[in-house]
Structure 1
Amino acid sequence: MRSYLSSMAFLQKRENRTYTLELVLEESNVGPLTWRCIPCPPEAVEKMVVDISLDGKEGEVRFWGCGGPTGTVRSLYQSLNWFVHCGPLLDHEKMLARPLRLRSLELLLAVESRVCCGELAALLERMADSRMLCGVVGHYAVCKGLERIEADVKERLGTTPTVPREWDRYGFEWGEISGLKETIGSARMRPLESGSG
């Protein structure tokens, strides 16, 4: 089966190189993660679609607080970090031989949510411009209903993610997994739920 999933006949269809993830945003963290589609081995994935919903509580999820990004942003960034280095199992003891690189990252916001599409897109733009997504994501899009904001990550900025000095030591560490377990733990990430298809 694995050889078929890695074959060119299977992988030439774009949808067979796309992972789909459901993610729940809580007040200041990422809640449960549920994989809905993992059609190919991690080394063949090109696109990740993330369906984002709220946990049902009243209130509004914010991405920017007094003077900087909120805990939600830190949790989202570290979720991407873990996926890139550990694959869909998010197991720090079974790291991938090489970090993944996504051609496209698409964030789909639930229409009924109070999350602002423009606010999340502006945050991604800032992260891309400050080199936090370099070498990890080639293109990103944020969608909510009919609204769609997208952009390319400028390759001229480099191929290694760099965290801005003012965000350093606030849970935005990238790459080395040695400290990631503690970082994810501090962000109160929940274990991966089964549900891949």
Structure 2
Amino acid sequence: MATYPAASFLGIPRELRLQIYEELQEQDLECKVLERWSSGSMFASYSLPIRNPESRLLPPWLSLLLSCRAVAAEMRSLIRDQAQRDDKHVTYVMDADSGPDGDDMGHVIWQRIPCAPIDAKALVVNCYVDPQKSFAGDGGFPSVVSSMYQTLNLFLQCGPGLNPDKPLREGHLRLRELVIHMHQRMGTDYYTRPDGSTQCSNAYRVLRGNLFRILCRTGILSGYIEQVRITEGSAEAIFVIDPDLVHDGNVSDLWKRCGFEWGLGGPRWSGEA
């Protein structure tokens, strides 16, 4: 009776294994990690993330990566080669909702996580907003804006789990680019003028002028992100972060009262009153 060697993943040609890795990287997740952001108490000046209890953040390639050292080394080598060619396989994609009422941020859904956080080079956020909603706060930013800011803070400090109790062991992320695409819920006609130019939403103007322009000038994002790009329709704003602009991570007392602390050491995450 003829005998055959036991089948194994490492026994198939390397070219086929690389194709399998790439197919797994391409798969969409549709994983909702946060249900919404909500005020911790009636006295809190900031919001807290409400996690999805049914969320199981497990990218398809992760189980294969953890199967053995040889496979892990091969996959890491592939990811490094991919990163030299383009950012497709090192780009995370997130859907974020500003909340139906606009008072606070809604769900956060991961659409694509193609690599480990340490290999990530870009984050693309599809942010859905009500075009007619005003983002003006009573003497400061509304909570929905600080929630967006803190979602970015959590990602850079804790990775895609967005869990302040589980910061990244390798240190914070370092991205080449953050891209935020603003999308309106009510169709494109609201944004298009007769000349074809874009009528920007208040959300776009706030993120562009009142948030990221300040963040880039103060240097808070230095060492975290090299460039920020915000788009809505035909409008686009690009901010290049000065790598020589050193910042200690602290923000003004005014920003702290509005929920714009940076890092994970403030009262928001410690549970202090």
Distance 1:116 1:90 in 2: 23
- Counterpart of 2:207? 120
Q: Give the number of aligned pairs.
A: 181
- The answer to which structure has the higher strand fraction is 1
Report the counterpart of residue 130 of structure 1 in structure 2.
218
Unaligned runs of 5+ in 2: 1-63, 66-71, 192-200
Find the aligned partners of 2:220 and 2:138 in 1 and give their Cα distance.
21
Select which of 139, 144, 149 maps to 2:227: 139
**Letter of the aligned partner of 2:228 in structure 1?**
Y
1:172 corresponds in structure 2 to 260
Matches within 5 A, 1:1-197: 1-2=64-65, 3=72, 4-7=74-77, 8-12=80-84, 13-26=86-99, 27-54=102-129, 59-62=132-135, 64-97=136-169, 98-111=171-184, 112=187, 114-123=201-210, 124-158=212-246, 160-177=248-265, 179-181=267-269
Structure label with greater radius of gyration: 2
Q: What's the secondary structure of 1:20's corresponding residue? A: strand
TM-score of the pair, normalised by structure 2: 0.59
Q: Given residue 121 of structure 1, which amino acid in structure 2 is its aligned partner?
A: R
Larger mean CA deviation between 93-102 and 35-44 belongs to 93-102
Q: Which has the higher contact order (CA 8 A, sep 6+)?
A: 1
1:85–1:95 contact (8 Å) kept in structure 2: yes
Query: RMSD value over aligned CA atoms?
Result: 2.5
TM-score for both structures, normalised by structure 1:
0.79
Give secondary structure in 2 for the equivalent of 1:156.
coil
In structure 2, relative to structure 1, the CA distance for the partners of 1:171 and 1:66 (3 Å cut) is same
Deviation at 1:116, TM superposition (A): 4.7
C-alpha separation between the residues in 2 aligned to 1:81 and 1:116?
19
Question: The residue matched to 1:35 in structure 2 has which SS?
Answer: strand
How far is 1:66 from its partner? 3.6
C-alpha distance after superposition, 1:83-122 (max 9, x if no partner): 1111101223332111112221111001548445333211
Distance 1:81 1:144 in 2: 22
